[in-house]
Amino acid sequence: MLVLGIDPGTATTGYGLVRETETGPALVAYGTIQTPAGAPMPDRLRTIYQELKELIALHGPDTAAVEKLFFQRNVSTAMSVGQARGVALLALAEAGVSVGEYTPRDVKLAVAGYGGADKPQVQQMVRAILNLPEVPKPDDAADALAVAICHLHSMRMKALTG
């Protein structure tokens, strides 16, 4: 099972691909999609959409997971992240890839065992779970890997509980 995790953002969208193996989750690839800071929003969203479509075509994930929006004080930031989420969900839907959606708290709980874990704790657990020599950088990519790991965990739990 190959899972594509996505941490949406208009400036930087993180992605991480994790494969379920007999010995646990294994890293396949990770990185970010960058958009130019001064570019109009439609151009930034098109870049995210096109690059995600290329990633999906290249790797052929079996399923995907996208981080849900959480309450933010800055409404314009929340709106732009929501737009990036929308184009990510569209790219996945067009490719016929099933999607799980998780709150940041869900991800922290699945990866670190505590829904209130801070970013460094989650990143260290991503490193440990994937047996990596160091924490993946940048943060957006590490967050996307955490989302993918959360989805694998959720699917395992559903399989066990029916």
Catalytic residues: 7, 67, 140
Task: Find out whether 17 and 61 touch, Cβ atoms under 8 Å.
Answer: yes
Can you say whether the dihedral through the CA atoms of 124, 136, 138, 74 is positive or negative? negative
Distance of CA 103 to the CA centre of its chain: 11
Task: Find out whether 134 and 120 touch, Cβ atoms under 8 Å.
Answer: no
Contacts of 108 (CB under 8 A, 6+ apart): 114, 115, 116, 117, 121, 122, 146
Sheet holding 2-7, edge to edge: 24-34, 12-21, 2-7, 63-67, 98-102
Tell me the C-alpha to C-alpha distance, in Å, between residue 5 and each of 14, 74, 85: 8, 25, 12
Helix (H) or strand (E) holding 157: helix 139-161
